[in-house]
Amino acid sequence: MSLYLDHFGLREPPFRITPHTDFFFTGANRGPTLDALIYAITQDEGIVKVTGEVGSGKTMLCRMLLERLPENVETLYLANPSLSRQEILGAIADELGIPTDGKATHSLIRALQDALIARYAEGKRVVLLIDEAHAMPAESLEEIRLLSNLESKAAKLLQIALFAQPELDERLAATDMRQLRERITQHFNLAPLKQDDVAAYIEFRLRAAGYHGPNPFTAEAVTMIAKASEGLSRRINILADKALLAAYSRGTHQVSGNEIKLAAQDARFSPLKPKASFNPKPLLWGAAGASAVVLLAALLIGTSPSVFREADPNSTLALTPQANQTAQPGKRLQPVTLRSETQGQPASPDKIRFAPLTRQHFGQYDQWIEDAPNNHYFIQLLATDASQTGQIEGFLARANTVLDPSQIRAYRSSLSGRDRVGVIFGDYASREEAVEAMQSLPESIKAAQPFPRQVSKLR
């Protein structure tokens, strides 16, 4: 292996299939999805669901979530989906340090609630992360719904996040699952990478592993990898690793179509089975009163499939090393992954300088929020770190061209423990009116899955 690394000038293997958070790819909306998950878990009061095909990056996303959640969030992780409802309660109790001692179910639930209340009193939040949730027995899924009911007078005591294959959506569509379905307030999907994303992903992994030369993968090789992998990151890793090994064995530094053909023959991937059509509307509209976390909007509207942000000359942030991307004509674009100018930490709030359009919409929010009734609704379009000044300004500029600018507002909040900016739209007397308004939004914005939210959530 050392000869393999030396041959390409690599510090470590770039295409391992075991999740390594140093190799987390923020493109193809993975980075914004992570931010959205953190926001949902720290501010929402429902169950969060993340779905994706086998090898799409769900476990990596879960690992990143464990690293990035604020210090006041205590995480419980269940990797075995086949536990019975009693075993689930026992596993959670064990994670919380609660002795079970043969307790009956109702006694165990009461002990769990007491422990969660104690942590809530200390200012802590508890999050339960369940992997492979699509394989859970029906009774265990029902227990998850009941656990989501644990609450104090003011807030939910346990936040739950489900990571699953798309089969979970099919199970939730069943009539007997409607109660659990309506508890899920946030839905995220890790779609397979498109060809442009595959190219950026491969180069990012190489750079993260210490590679400094020109991209060894030819355009033909990337196209073949995208086709053979069907955009699944685990398959991309397997093919790229085998192809590099084949190139090394031939004494060449370039990976062409021949190496990819050999790698694909050796990998013997089965084609993904087409999924039955699934109507997501029951899940989307069941999210009443959800805290909208549509960070993806900023990257879906007016951008390429790869992740970019518009350059902000006034930003206090600098770029991390990133793979070269192809910008849209007429725009100066940079990768969205950012670091602070000081040791990789976010810029402090007092150093953030917002651009003119952002400041204008801050003012519009201040005027509106004074008199906006708590029971009214609005549409959340964006929520992101306040340090992302270029992203915020660029998003507002694009939104102003397709929406009524007077109805677009921006606010700043630190309720999640992080300095964040949200962009919202409209003012509606009921949730039904907000949903109806969402249906008439431009397709570019509807594609980002905006959510209705109540004014009371802002106060």
Give the model confidence (pLDDT) of 328-353 as tens digits: 334 333 333 333 333 334 445 567 88
327 and 423 housed in the same domain: yes
Higher-scoring residue by pLDDT: 140, 306:
140
Does residue 129 sit within a domain?
A: yes
Q: Domain boundary at 173, 190, 207, which?
A: 190
336 and 442 housed in the same domain: yes
344 and 402 housed in the same domain: yes
Model confidence at 447: pLDDT above 70: no
Q: Do 50 and 188 contact (CB within 8 A), yes or no? A: yes
| Pure H helices in 330-457 | 356-369, 389-402, 431-439, 443-446
Report which of 275, 42, 71, 67 is spatially closest to residue 161, judged by C-alpha positions: 42
Does residue 272 sit within a domain?
A: no
Model confidence at 65: pLDDT above 80: yes
Report which of 288, 261, 293 is spatially closest to residue 423, judged by C-alpha positions: 293
CA distances from 71 to 119, 124, 387 (A): 13, 9, 20
Model confidence at 393: pLDDT above 90: no
334 and 399 housed in the same domain: yes
Residue 257: give the domain boundaries.
Answer: 2-12+193-267
112 and 159 housed in the same domain: yes
Domain with residue 229: its CATH number is 1.10.8.60
Q: Domain boundary at 190, 223, 246, which?
A: 190
Phi/psi of residue 228, nearest 5 degrees = -70, -35
**Window from 19-23, 150-154, 256-260 with minimum mean pLDDT:** 150-154
Higher-scoring residue by pLDDT: 135, 274:
135
Domain with residue 374: its CATH number is 3.30.70.1070
Is the pTM higher than 0.75? no
230 and 304 housed in the same domain: no
Q: What would the mean pLDDT of 11-32 be, rounded to a whole number?
A: 90
Residue 2: strand, helix, or coil: helix
40 and 162 housed in the same domain: yes
Confidence of residue 107 (pLDDT cuts 50, 70, 90): confident
pLDDT at 339: 31
Higher-scoring residue by pLDDT: 332, 387:
387
- pLDDT exceeding 70 applies to what percent of the chain? 80
Mean pLDDT of the chain: 80
Instruction: Tell me how many domains the chain contains.
Output: 3
Q: Report pLDDT digits (tens) over 73-102.
A: 999 988 877 888 888 888 888 888 888 777
254 and 343 housed in the same domain: no
pLDDT at 106: 83
Secondary structure (H, E, C), 349-383: HHHCCCCHHHHHHHHHHHHHHCCCCCCCEEEEEEE
